[in-house]
């Protein structure tokens, strides 16, 4: 009953009382209709391993003959909608492009990232979690080259011959950097960029990968650092981006999660979503930008409002004094209240509507 398409499988062994869990191990799968995926539990290493083709075929035939049916659990279709919101840009090509060699994702491979000592609250928390783990087995030794193939995103732009003022202006608005990265690294595919954003978030939140958190942070920082692209050249990209990050944080901030992922959800709340986090500062500037811009795409404005309300309601973040309704606040006679442009899809033209 697993819907066809991309899924992420993650698991963790535990103590007998179920109170302590080993670091999570996960991997992406592209499920075809009627496909059977077979993994065998390695008791010594506490690891799900692949089996030989002959053995996999034998088990697959047994599954299709319903020999294991009474021992198989049904896929929880109630959660499929959430998963689609988290993965609608993740394709087979996206997985193959960014996953590490072997496909296994776990923070136990990433100790080298913390060389020189952890620096941020998130890094310190994950480092502590790794050191406290009682599940140190031979499988936790870091294999050579088991790193993700993430896109390298520079933090600043430098060009020879440019004045300091020009460089400062260029780096205050990361639009030119975004255009450069899209052209060189993604062959101008906005969906591939969003696919990497979703891939890194899933690998971080469900696979507990610190490297993936850093990549997610880099992409979010790049996009939220643009001041002209959201309103001029890339309105559709930013509408899709705000929808993606809205659903990511909506899922990540759920309180009813239990099991091996609980620890990472706690980190989500306590470390990188604090009111002094990078995300708070970036969102504050982005929301202010939307408010101050005279012309805004209607879908972008609508989703920005929803995203802002989510952060206010779930985290108690405050971005400015409230003076009106609908999540983004303007004085009644505010001359800077934006003009909303609604795209008339039937004619491919914009229609102006003043808020």
C-alpha closest to that of 28 among 83, 108, 76, 110? 83
Provide the percentage of residues in the chain whose pLDDT is more than 70.
69
Is the pLDDT assigned to residue 192 strictly greater than 50?
yes
Q: Is the pLDDT of residue 351 over 80?
A: no
For 242-286, what is each residue's pLDDT tens digit?
A: 999 999 999 988 765 444 444 445 455 455 566 567 888 899 999
- pLDDT bucket at 80, cuts 50 / 70 / 90: very high
Question: For residue 348, what pLDDT is reported?
Answer: 43
With cut-offs at 50, 70 and 90, classify the pLDDT of residue 210.
confident
Structure tokens at 128: 């502590």
Whether the predicted pLDDT of 145 surpasses 50: no
Cα–Cα distance for residue pair 107/344, rounded to 1 Å: 47
3-state secondary structure of 239: helix
Report pLDDT for 144.
44
Q: What is the DSSP letter of 23?
A: P
**What pLDDT is stored for residue 293 in this prediction?**
87
Q: Is the pLDDT of residue 300 over 80?
A: yes
Residue 164 has pLDDT above 80, yes or no: no
Please give the average per-residue pLDDT across 338-352, as a whole number.
47
Q: Which helix (H) or strand (E) holds 27?
A: strand 25-31
Q: Is the pLDDT of residue 319 over 90?
A: no
Question: The tokens of 346 are what?
Answer: 């039937």
Of 133 and 304, which is predicted with more confidence? 304
Q: What is this structure's pTM?
A: 0.80
Residue 155: beta bridge partners? Answer: none
**Candidate from 42-46, 55-59, 61-65, 74-78 with smallest mean pLDDT:** 42-46
Query: Quick one: how far is CA 219 from the chain centroid?
Result: 9
Q: Break the chain into its structural domains and give their ranges.
A: 5-128+149-315
Give the per-residue pLDDT at 151. 96
Residue carrying the six token digits 């502590």: 128
Measure the CA angle with vertex 126, ends 122 and 130; round to 5°.
Answer: 170
What pLDDT does 16 receive? 82
pLDDT score of 170: 54
Q: Considering the chain, what is the average pLDDT of its residues?
A: 79
CATH-assigned architecture of domain 5-128+149-315: Alpha Horseshoe (1.25)
Instruction: Phi first, then psi: give them for residue 86, nearest 5 degrees.
Output: -85, -15
Query: Around 110, how many Cα atoms within 13 Å sit in the side-chain half-sphere?
Result: 28
Q: Check pLDDT > 90 for residue 131.
A: no
Distance CA 262, CA 255 (A): 9
Where is average pLDDT lowest: 31-35, 246-250, 316-320, 345-349? Answer: 345-349
Is the pLDDT assigned to residue 354 strictly greater than 80? Answer: no
Partners of residue 342 on adjacent β-strands: 351
Pick the residue with more confidence: 238 or 140?
238
What pLDDT score does 20 carry?
79
Q: Mean pLDDT: which of 133-147, 158-172, 186-200, 256-270 is highest?
A: 186-200
Q: What is the pLDDT of residues 91-103, one digit of tens each?
A: 999 999 999 988 9
């Amino acid at each position: 009953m697993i819907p066809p398409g991309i899924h992420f499988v993650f698991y963790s062994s535990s103590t007998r009382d179920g109170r302590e869990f080993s670091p999570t191990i996960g991997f992406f799968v592209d499920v075809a209709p009627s496909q059977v995926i077979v993994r065998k539990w390695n008791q010594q290493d506490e690891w799900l391993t692949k089996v030989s083709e002959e053995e996999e075929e034998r088990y697959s035939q047994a599954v299709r003959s319903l020999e294991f049916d009474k021992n198989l659990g049904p896929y929880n279709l109630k959660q499929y909608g959430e998963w689609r919101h988290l993965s609608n840009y993740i394709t087979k090509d996206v997985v193959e492009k960014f996953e590490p060699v072997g496909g296994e994702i776990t923070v136990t491979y990433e100790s080298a990232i913390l060389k020189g000592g952890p620096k941020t609250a998130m890094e310190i928390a994950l480092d502590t979690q790794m050191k406290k783990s009682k599940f140190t087995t031979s499988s936790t030794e870091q294999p050579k080259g088991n790193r993700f193939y993430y896109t390298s995103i520079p933090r600043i732009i430098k060009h020879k011959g440019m004045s300091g003022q020009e460089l400062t202006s260029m780096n205050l608005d990361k639009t030119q950097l975004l255009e450069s990265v899209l052209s060189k690294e993604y062959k101008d595919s906005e969906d591939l960029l969003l696919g990497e954003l979703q891939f890194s978030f899933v690998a971080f939140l469900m696979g507990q990968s610190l490297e993936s958190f850093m990549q997610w942070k880099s992409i979010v920082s790049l996009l939220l650092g643009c001041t002209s692209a959201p309103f001029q050249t890339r309105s559709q990209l930013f509408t899709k981006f705000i929808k993606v990050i809205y659903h990511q944080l909506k899922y990540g901030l759920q309180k009813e999660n239990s099991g091996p992922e609980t620890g990472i959800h706690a980190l989500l709340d306590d470390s990188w979503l604090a009111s002094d986090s990078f995300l708070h500062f970036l969102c504050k500037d982005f929301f202010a930008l939307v408010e101050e811009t005279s012309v805004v795409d209607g879908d972008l404005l609508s989703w920005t409002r929803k995203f802002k309300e989510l952060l206010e309601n779930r985290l108690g973040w405050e971005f400015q004094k409230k003076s009106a309704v609908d999540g983004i606040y303007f004085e009644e006679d505010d001359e800077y209240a934006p003009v909303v442009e609604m795209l008339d899809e039937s004619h491919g033209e914009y229609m102006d509507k003043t808020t």
